[in-house]
Amino acid sequence: MSTETLDSQELVPPPPGRSFRAPGALSRRLRGDLGQIPVVLALVIIAVYFQIATSGNFLRARNLTEMIQEIITIGTLGLGSVLVLLIREIDLSLGSVSGLGAGAMVVFSYGHGWPWQLAILAGLIVGALCGAINGFFISVVRVPAFIVTLAALIGYQGLLLHIMLPTTTLPIRDPKILAISTTYLPAYAGIGLPVIGVAIYALTLLRDRTKRQQHDLPILSPTELGLRIGIIGVMAIGAAVLFQSYRGVPLTAMLLIGLILLFFLMMRRTAFGLHVYAIGGNAEAARRAGVDIVRLRIIVFTLASTLAALGGIFQASRQISATSAIDPTLILNAIAAPVIGGVSLFGGRGSVWAVILGSLIVGSLLNGLALTGQGTDVEQMVEGGVLLVAVIADALVRRRSATGVR
């Protein structure tokens, strides 16, 4: 079918009293808030495979709780990566900012005796400043983001080494900071909060559908809407029940879900979110429409680095120390997670919920391969292959959308 034919079909107004429904496969329609249905299926296949390969150890509550704790940092940095990817940019410095934020927190807490609240706030402010600096050079000076963030990756890692001299590792002594990664929610909160979160998500989708229907815009069918709500509901509540059978829902996991829900509402309900998608879709058109692209890009990079610093604080709390050694795979995992979950590398398409699916796939692969005795070499090859498949799929979808081929 030609592009002209498709365009004419999409522009024809619907009959009075009926809402327009965009053409396309169910899997394409579902790409968005829950990522791709193939991603969900891939996660199920991975879980079933490792459950069999590990003789039933993979899906045990203890192992899943530990796996979730391990991917909290990836998910937090991945949430920052989503914001940057949506405006068609990239930030390679998030891993270094993560370590720098954690290092600053421990230096102020352990070295200067600051209260835990001020130490954590200082670490977040350091992350925000790093992002603002990156955003300034990218947006105002107009240096490509790849070059700026690559230089920042090296520079911030050097700064981390400097503030931690003469040692390379500083222990965390404050029990409040240590409790971040060792606190588990009571049963009423561990079950109740996910239910509330799913309800908010469902109400948001229903409200959006109603508004789009009133303006004769493309809408999801009841079946598709039910699938979206059902999948995330089953995942959230099922995970909460499983965690309760061990120690409960980890506080850090609930904090990450809360952040994702907050940014979901921000991206769907505020002018900021609409402008982010507009810039990623067509920056020049957004500029002509009055969007302050320079200011918004600075804000996005600032938010991304603040989230990276928060992820570093979570990681330091779990490791009981801050170290000057930066995990070289951290930034790759932070970018891979949203891309695998369905966020486009080409900007303007995707959702913050993609972080959950992507992080779970990355974490499941690393955890499952470790349980089966595979080395780092196999882990990196498998993860690289999965990322390559996700990028190829994204490129094909983008090309098909551009050419109008279905």
Which is nearest to 155 in space by CA: 130, 123, 138, 128? 130
Residue 2 pLDDT more than 60? no
Q: Amino acid letter at 218?
A: P
pLDDT digits (tens, 9 = 90+) for 199-220: 888 888 888 888 888 888 777 7
Which is nearest to 401 in space by CA: 85, 21, 3? 3
Residue 382 pLDDT more than 60? yes
Residue linked to tokens 């498998």: 382
What is the Cα–Cα distance from 261 to 289, expressed in whole angstroms?
28
Mean of the pLDDT values across residues 155-183? 91
Q: Express as a percent the part of the chain with pLDDT over 90.
A: 38
Assessment of whether the complete model's pTM goes beyond 0.85: no
Q: Specify the CATH number of the domain 27-183+250-401.
A: 1.10.3470
Provide the 8-state DSSP code for 82. H
CA dihedral 86, 87, 88, 94 (to 10 degrees): -80
Number of residues that make up the chain: 406
Mean pLDDT score of the chain? 84
Task: Report domain extents, the chain.
Answer: 27-183+250-401, 184-249
Which of 28-37, 133-142, 197-206, 359-368 is predicted with the least confidence, judged by mean pLDDT? 28-37
Provide the 8-state DSSP code for 1. -
Which is nearest to 3 in space by CA: 393, 282, 346, 400? 400
Provide the 8-state DSSP code for 327. P
Which range scores top for mean pLDDT: 4-18, 210-224, 287-301? Answer: 287-301
Burial of 396 (0-12, 13-18, 19+ CB in 10 A): exposed
What is the Cα–Cα distance from 309 to 62, expressed in whole angstroms?
27
pLDDT digits (tens, 9 = 90+) for 70-117: 899 999 999 999 999 999 999 999 999 999 999 999 999 988 889 999
Contact call for residues 271 and 286 (beta carbons, < 8 A): no
